[in-house]
């Protein structure tokens, strides 16, 4: 029984980090010059009131305060000037990005909302959807919730549900249902009814019996969905039965795959009744921490495949922006020579505004940094050592620049005893930051911050389910689960795989699929499913699939068009099941009864020229 503990899936890196780069108006320009006449041009620019920031081979960059590009071209009408152009601000870009800005002033949409199309579906608050959040409580100090729609249960061991036992539960709840109210962030199902059950606190431990009881309390509260951003090793029949009962009554239960980056199966996610959720990043890549248990069990002739015991879908869960207990997170801002740059708060609230000093790797004390903001490269020594060496040198603030593309997120560790504000910066901004004359950095307490984990992906899927389900309220939880899988966007290895399951959850595609096919998805009554499949394929080869049953056994008729080779390969769930004549039709007779969900593709034989994946749900 000792294995039946579960823990909140807290990932330390990225905890309480923010990066809200202030975007200054840009009146900064690049001037291309002949090197031998650069002095003349610099003098001309200074005469015109410019502040020069970069003096490089063949060009300079300078701010002409309040002047337009045409103004500057006029001022620098000189034969040594080859070109004047706007100095564009460069920020690290992913496929999907959080809105930029200050969440106390404006509402920021987290990247995962865009990635999963949740911004394309309107939540129907009259449908009565309710999400039960079993976590560390939801702190009532955060104003970004529809508090009149939130209830909870107290637990003697963990205290009031509306007081946080760590920020985890508040962050999770924000991803599900932060209100659409003009500030802060917005959840997947904004303002959705929630029931909060607090089963762990700062000490971080709960037991499977707590979870089994919590499932019953969720049911009593009338919840449609249970969100469990938690997990641990070891199955437990009491716990399993509690979720089985919840799902049998029409509910949907989702849980985190786990954050150890291995193939271990976590529970409750590993129970068949519970949908296992993995995490992807803003570039549609799997998170390196996201666990990927196999869908098969047994050995030899007893091997069986069961897609309900492995990852079924994923959603964004890397550097997820959401709600914190008020003041519980850190927000940073940075500007260099008056131009805003993205930053992440590392440690120590406060402000620093001073001339810059490049401290190299920051591996030694250097009194040249006295009174200045240290710009430090990542590498060689710890972040703490870098900031400490800056402070011991008399530095008043520290900027640590990443040594690989993207923003540097980090902390100074548990034994930090520095006091100067320290921020991370993106590698893409390194040259500008190193060249800058002055840097201003500021770190303040915030109600919003970042966390990473399958704990963050799980509430994204719970929220997407609530969002779409609110538009199809007659569906059962199992039907919603099937629709999530049938419409997920394939990612990673082609077809269903252990890391992504069916892929990244897609709210708008799922909504359209249920509108077109009904709750049952068309599979279990002999109807066809030709809609809602993902669009991972390329080329002109088109495929439709029609699922039906013969004497209770699943069959799928495939028909395709516009293949050009004499034979085609037929794929089911990423594996070739047949190489057959290119006659436009094939029937897959599965020796399977009951429910199931399959993804089909047809490819020109021996090639990767394939149709899009088409899903069939029984």
Catalytic site positions: 135, 168, 455
Quote the least distance from Cβ 105 to Ca ion, whole Å: 12
Counting residues that bind Ca ion (by CB under 5 A) gives 10
Region of 106-114, 294-302, 386-394, 415-423 interacting with Ca ion (CB under 5 A) = 106-114
Which residue, 212 or 286, has its beta carbon nearer to Ca ion? 286
* Alpha-carbon gap, residue 134 to 164, rounded angstroms: 13
Quote the least distance from Cβ 121 to Ca ion, whole Å: 17
- Binding string to Ca ion for residues 472 to 501, with x set by CB under 5 A, is what? ------------------x-x----x--x-
The separation between CA 360 and the C-alpha centre of its own chain, rounded to angstroms, equals 33
Starting from the edge strand earliest in sequence, which strands make up the sheet with 150-153, in order? 150-153, 193-198, 130-135, 225-228, 252-256, 274-280, 311-316
| Span 163-202, contacts to Ca ion by CB under 5 A | 178-179, 181, 184
Which residue, 93 or 493, has its beta carbon nearer to Ca ion? 493
**Do 364 and 389 meet the contact criterion of CB atoms below 8 Å apart?**
yes
Starting from the edge strand earliest in sequence, which strands make up the sheet with 567-572, in order? 575-581, 567-572, 597-604, 614-617
* Alpha-carbon gap, residue 282 to 339, rounded angstroms: 26
CA atoms within 13 A on the CB side of 186: 23
- Residue 109 in contact with Ca ion, rule: CB under 5 A: no
Quote the least distance from Cβ 179 to Ca ion, whole Å: 5
| Span 139-168, contacts to Ca ion by CB under 5 A | 144
Ranked by CB distance to Ca ion, the top (closest) residue is 184
Distances (CA, A) of 173 to 88, 185, 591: 37, 11, 42
- Binding string to Ca ion for residues 431 to 470, with x set by CB under 5 A, is what? ----------------------------------------
Quote the least distance from Cβ 493 to Ca ion, whole Å: 5
With a CB cutoff of 8 Å and minimum separation 6, the contacts of 583 are: none
| Span 580-599, contacts to Ca ion by CB under 5 A | none
Which residue, 144 or 239, has its beta carbon nearer to Ca ion? 144
**Do 178 and 184 meet the contact criterion of CB atoms below 8 Å apart?**
yes
* Alpha-carbon gap, residue 243 to 248, rounded angstroms: 8
Which residue, 63 or 284, has its beta carbon nearer to Ca ion? 284
**Do 92 and 428 meet the contact criterion of CB atoms below 8 Å apart?**
yes
- Binding string to Ca ion for residues 295 to 334, with x set by CB under 5 A, is what? ----------------------------------------
* Alpha-carbon gap, residue 190 to 349, rounded angstroms: 31
Quote the least distance from Cβ 143 to Ca ion, whole Å: 9
Which residue, 107 or 455, has its beta carbon nearer to Ca ion? 107
Return the SS3 of 68: coil
Quote the least distance from Cβ 60 to Ca ion, whole Å: 43
Distances (CA, A) of 540 to 489, 560, 610: 19, 10, 8
Which residue, 181 or 349, has its beta carbon nearer to Ca ion? 181
Task: Write out the residues near Ca ion by the rule CB under 5 A.
Answer: 107, 144, 178-179, 181, 184, 490, 492, 497, 500
């Amino acid at each position: 029984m000792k294995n039946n503990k579960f823990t909140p899936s807290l990932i330390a890196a990225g905890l309480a980090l923010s990066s809200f780069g202030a975007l200054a108006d840009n009146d900064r320009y690049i001037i291309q010059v002949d090197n031998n006449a650069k002095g003349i041009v610099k003098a001309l620019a200074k005469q015109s009131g410019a502040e020069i920031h970069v003096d490089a081979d063949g060009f300079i960059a300078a701010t002409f305060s309040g002047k337009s590009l045409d103004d500057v071209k006029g001022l620098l009408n000189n034969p040594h000037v080859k070109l004047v152009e706007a100095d564009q601000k460069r920020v690290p870009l992913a496929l999907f990005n959080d809105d930029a800005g200050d969440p106390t002033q404006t509402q920021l949409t987290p990247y995962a909302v865009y990635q999963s199309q949740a911004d394309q579906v309107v939540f129907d608050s009259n449908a009565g959807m309710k999400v039960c959040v079993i976590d560390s409580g939801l702190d009532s100090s955060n104003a970004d919730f529809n508090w009149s729609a939130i209830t909870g249960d107290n637990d003697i061991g963990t205290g009031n549900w509306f007081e946080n036992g760590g920020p985890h539960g508040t962050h999770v709840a924000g991803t599900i249902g932060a209100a659409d109210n003009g500030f802060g962030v917005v959840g997947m199902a904004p303002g959705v009814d929630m029931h909060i059950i607090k089963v762990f606190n700062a000490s971080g431990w709960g037991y499977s019996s707590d979870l089994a009881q919590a499932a019953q309390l969720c049911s009593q509260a009338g919840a449609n969905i249970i969100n469990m951003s938690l997990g641990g090793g070891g199955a437990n029949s009491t716990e399993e039965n509690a979720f089985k009962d919840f799902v049998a009554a029409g509910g949907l239960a989702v849980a985190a795959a786990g954050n150890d980056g291995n193939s271990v199966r976590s529970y409750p996610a590993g129970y068949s009744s519970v949908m296992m959720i993995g995490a992807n990043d803003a570039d549609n890549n799997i998170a390196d921490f996201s666990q990927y248990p196999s869908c098969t069990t047994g050995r030899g002739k007893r091997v069986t495949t069961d897609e309900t015991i492995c990852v079924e879908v994923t959603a964004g869960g890397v550097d997820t922006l959401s709600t914190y207990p008020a003041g519980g997170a850190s927000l940073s801002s940075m500007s260099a020579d008056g131009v805003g740059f993205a930053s992440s708060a590392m440690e120590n609230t406060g402000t620093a505004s001073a001339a810059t000093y490049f401290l190299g790797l920051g591996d030694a004390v250097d009194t040249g940094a006295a009174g200045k903001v240290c710009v430090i490269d990542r590498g060689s020594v710890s972040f703490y050592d870098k900031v400490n060496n800056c402070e011991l040198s008399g530095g008043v603030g520290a900027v640590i620049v990443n040594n690989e593309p993207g923003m540097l997120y980090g902390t100074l560790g548990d034994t930090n005893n520095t006091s100067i504000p320290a921020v991370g910066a993106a590698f893409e901004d390194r040259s500008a930051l190193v060249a800058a004359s002055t840097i201003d950095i500021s770190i303040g307490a915030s109600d919003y911050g970042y966390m990473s984990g399958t704990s963050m992906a799980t509430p994204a899927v719970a929220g997407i389910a609530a969002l779409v389900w609110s538009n199809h309220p007659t569906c059962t939880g199992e039907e919603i689960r099937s629709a999530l899988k049938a419409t997920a966007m394939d990612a990673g290895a082609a077809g269903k795989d252990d890391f992504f399951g069916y892929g990244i959850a897609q709210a708008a595609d799922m909504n359209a699929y249920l509108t077109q096919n009904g709750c049952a998805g068309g599979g279990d009554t002999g109807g066809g499913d030709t809609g809602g499949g993902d669009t991972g394929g390329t080329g002109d080869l088109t495929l439709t699939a029609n699922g039906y049953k013969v004497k209770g056994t699943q069959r799928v008729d495939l028909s395709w068009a516009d293949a050009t080779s004499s034979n085609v390969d037929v794929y089911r769930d990423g594996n070739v099941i047949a190489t057959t004549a290119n006659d436009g039709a094939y029937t897959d007779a599965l020796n399977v009864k009951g429910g199931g969900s399959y993804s089909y593709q047809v490819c020109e034989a021996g090639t990767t020229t394939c149709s899009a994946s088409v899903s069939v749900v029984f």
